[in-house]
Amino acid sequence: MAARAEDFDQVVPPMPERTPAALRRAIAEHAPQLLPDFDAHWKWAIADAYDLGPVPAFMARWWVEYAIARDPKLDAYVTDLHHRVAECTDIDEAKALIEESANIRHQALRLEPGQ
């Protein structure tokens, strides 16, 4: 089957407002495979909490997860990094792969709404 131009020209959706509700809507629309875990984590960590202290950590984690998942090429690349680490027998190579994955996640965390 021949590749179509639109297969290569996917537009990465912008990051949503930095609120739980906006992030959930973006996940539901652009990365629905994350939604069951997002909702389960929300219910476990936040929904019944009387202290909103965990919300920033929750948002940081899911902000990064969505930032990566919304871009199929980046998501595939990060997944490939993880597979390569799991199969790696050279400690220095494994450390480099883990560092590369961590750098991608740190960059994703710094994204602003609309980016």
| Whole-structure pTM value | 0.88
82 close to 100: Cβ distance less than 8 angstroms: no
Kindly report, residue by residue over 72-94, the tens digit of the pLDDT.
999 999 999 999 999 999 999 99
Kindly report, residue by residue over 9-58, the tens digit of the pLDDT.
679 999 999 999 999 999 999 999 999 999 999 999 998 778 889 999 99
Q: Residue 7 has which token pair?
A: 């297969």
30 CB contacts (<8 Å, ≥6 apart)?
Answer: 13, 66, 69, 70
Model pLDDT, residue 46: 92
R_g of the chain, CA atoms, integer Å: 16
**In whole angstroms, what is the distance from residue 12 CA to residue 10 CA?**
6
Kindly report, residue by residue over 97-106, the tens digit of the pLDDT.
999 999 999 9
Model pLDDT, residue 9: 66
CA 20 to chain centre: 14
